[in-house]
Amino acid sequence: MLENRLDQTFARLREEKKAAFVAYLAAGDPTLDATLGLVLALAGVGVDVIELGLPFSDPLADGIVNQLAAQRALESGTTTAGVIELIRRIREHSSIPLVLFTYLNPVYTYGFEKFHADAAAAGADGVLLLDLPPDEAAANSELTGTHGLRQIRLIAPTTPPARMRDIGSQGEGFIYYVSREGVTGEQSELATNIAENVAIIKSGSGVPVCVGFGISTPDQAAAVARSADGVVVGSAIVKTIAAHGSSPDLASLVADFVRPLVEATKSV
């Protein structure tokens, strides 16, 4: 398998003995032009990987903050083709790794293989399909045309250890460990079993393990970075975008919010 930007970034961070900071943005919230500015601003404050949420009308794994962001993106006219074009525009300015974070419905509607071909040609590095179980992907030949994009797998805290190792062994790019049950959203406290489950996944996986869901403060980011290869922050960033969406200084305001989270992640 050819190395891509995700592989290169995690290899560099492993040499530096640093955890990755992964930021989630809802593509098209408040507009696709604004998302371009946000991606470049976040790359400028040290974010290592960007997850671009492809807006979908029924985002079942997302809490209210990300649901509303998807709604705003759809209302602004964001389409799957528009997000792929956004990736092309990002690539004119930045080589930051990009992962498309979405559900199977919009990908299948676009055309599974065409989606992957177009996304790869535009400059995406990976895809995370929240509602596509690995076993289903393996059992359906039409779901295998991924054109070199890393297929990011999710592992939940309720997954049995043997299953964690099995999914981990199939991982590409990185494993996204969901730190708690339920949907996305900020939490006042982290789950207590993160380090234990990350260790189980890593025992069966050759790719990095990143932890998300509920991380919203520098202290939480630092705590997760002590045991994981990466920290994912989404809802807290999306909430900041919602608060300042009409501001001409949106990108810099969001970058100011994210900077201490990045610094905390790298301080461990």
Residues classed as catalytic: 51, 62
What is the DSSP code (8-state) at residue 186? -
57 alpha carbon, distance to own chain's centre? 19
78 closest CA partner among 37, 109, 41, 33: 33
Enclosing H/E stretch for 146: none
Q: Are strands 230-233 and 153-155 parallel, antiparallel or unpaired?
A: unpaired
**Helix orientation angle between 64-75 and 235-244, rounded to the nearest 10 degrees:** 50
CA separation (Å) from 205 to 101, 163, 164, 218? 21, 12, 9, 27
Scanning the chain, the segments in alpha helix (DSSP H) are: 5-16, 32-44, 64-75, 80-91, 104-110, 112-122, 134-139, 161-169, 194-204, 218-225, 235-244, 250-266
